[in-house]
Structures are given as structure tokens and as C-alpha cells.
Amino acid sequence: MQYTGLARAEFEAGHQLDSPPRCSRLHGHRYGVEVEVEGRLNHKTSLAVDLDALAESLSALCAELRDRDLNEMMPGVITTPYGVAAWIMERLLATWPVTRVSVTESGSTTATATREVRAHGPAYVTH
């Protein structure tokens, strides 16, 4: 049986986009991040994934972004919620079995990146 778990964190940061025009100046948002992981239950520990450790990793990553310019922190990434979600997923996949990252911008819009495992390896999809 597969199990999923979630960790959540928040941070505030600034960014600038080429379009739409209202986003072309440096401005900031409060971001909410939700990370879903998947694993099989370890019967010795009764855990599929150590969610406390995942929450600590996510909080540490969000602390790196807090009060920073996302364009500087994420070179080459278009810092929409889609781009931020994919960037966070890529960073966490090095140590966690992440299946989904959702990023909410200012509490009103959410974008999600999911990991699809295909025959030739994982792929990232944003929604």
C-alpha cells in the first residue's frame, strides 16, 4: 500500500514578470507552499515518510526565499506560481519522494507541479 503525506510552509518574497503589465514592476506576495510525498509504510517505524523532517526541509527552503527577490534566487525561472512550484519540486526531489508541489500566491491563486513517472523517467507537469 502506498501512503501520501503533506507538509506546508509560507514565505514572503518579491519578483518581477515581463507580462502581464501590472506585474512588470518589482512587487511582493505571501506564498503558501504545500508539498506532497509518497512512500510505502516502514513497519519498524510506522512511517511512510518522516513528515517532521520533511516539514523542516521545506521550512528551511522557504527561509532561503523569505524577503528575497525570486528572480535573483531562481535564475532562468519565470517566477509565476508555476515556475516557483517546479523550482521547489526540483530542489526537494534530491532528498524526498515528492509527487506534488502547490504554490499559492497572495492567497488567491494556486499552481501545482506534479511528478509523473514514465517509462523513460520522471517528468514534471504544471497545472
Q: Kindly report, residue by residue over 67-123, the tens digit of the pLDDT.
A: 999 999 999 999 999 999 999 999 999 999 999 999 999 988 999 999 876 545 555
Concatenate the DSSP letters of all residues of 53-120 into one string. Answer: HHHHHHHHHHHHHTTSBHHHHSTT---SHHHHHHHHHHHHTTTS-EEEEEEEETTTEEEEEEEEEETT
Q: Structure pTM?
A: 0.88
Question: What size, in residues, is the chain?
Answer: 127
Distance CA 81, CA 23 (A): 13
In our burial notation (b when 16+ CB lie closer than 10 A, e otherwise), range 72-98 reads eebeebebbbbbbbbbbbebbeeebbb
CATH number (domain holding residue 79): 3.30.479.10
- Give the domain extent around 61: 2-126
Domain count, the chain: 1
